[in-house]
Amino acid sequence: MLKTIPPSFTPDLLRMMMAMGHGEELLIADGNFPSMSTGAPSIPRIYVPVADMTALFADILKFFPLDETVESPLAVMESARESGAYAQYRAAADRAGIKAPIAMIERFAFYERAAGVAGIVITSSQVKGGNILMKKGVVRDNIGKNGNH
């Protein structure tokens, strides 16, 4: 265990997020998502045994910079609206100070986009359409702001 790191974070999740570069996407998938057949076999897939995807998403937002160069660095399946997952993600993003819209994508278009992700986090959630894509941005350099290096 480490201080201030959410207990839901596994070493593999931390490694995956750290290794990703800007513009790459992370998929947080519910337990029903076809994770094993989506994308190339080389895409890292890790299991994080949580059922509350919104809490995991909120925890990830604390550490994961979102891409500020795109209109929607977050995307969900259209079915996320009817299940309530969209509203929960929107509320979590708002609490984190993220104002960018969350794109709504048709199911099969979502699968196509998910095929190119840098990593898949598989959860035990059963929320219909609870899957969310997160496009990584850059961490801004603070060197020189206060004369510190």
CATH code, 59: 3.40.1650.10
Question: How far, in Å, CA of 148 to CA of 145, rounded?
Answer: 7
Q: Is 127 part of a structural domain of the chain?
A: yes
Cβ atoms of residues 125 and 31 within 8 Å: yes
Written as six digits, the tokens of 124 are: 């035990």
Q: Is 118 part of a structural domain of the chain?
A: yes
List the catalytic residue out of 30, 59, 67, 86. 67
The Cβ of residue 48 has, within 10 Å, a number of other Cβ atoms equal to 18
Does 52 participate in catalysis according to the annotation? no
Q: Is 146 part of a structural domain of the chain?
A: no
List the catalytic residue out of 12, 47, 52, 111. 111
Does 67 participate in catalysis according to the annotation? yes
For β-strands 102-105 and 119-122, DSSP reports them as unpaired
Q: What is the pLDDT of residues 52-105, one digit of tens each?
A: 999 999 999 999 999 999 999 999 999 999 999 999 999 999 999 999 999 999
Does 89 participate in catalysis according to the annotation? no
Distances (CA, A) of 36 to 2, 41, 107, 125, 128: 30, 8, 17, 16, 18
Total of domains in the chain: 1
Q: Is 13 part of a structural domain of the chain?
A: no
Q: Is 129 part of a structural domain of the chain?
A: yes
Q: What is the pLDDT of residues 23-38, one digit of tens each?
A: 999 999 999 999 999 9
Q: Is 8 part of a structural domain of the chain?
A: no
Query: Domain residues for 113?
Result: 18-135
Q: Is 131 part of a structural domain of the chain?
A: yes
Q: Is 11 part of a structural domain of the chain?
A: no
pLDDT above 70 covers a percentage of the chain that reads 95
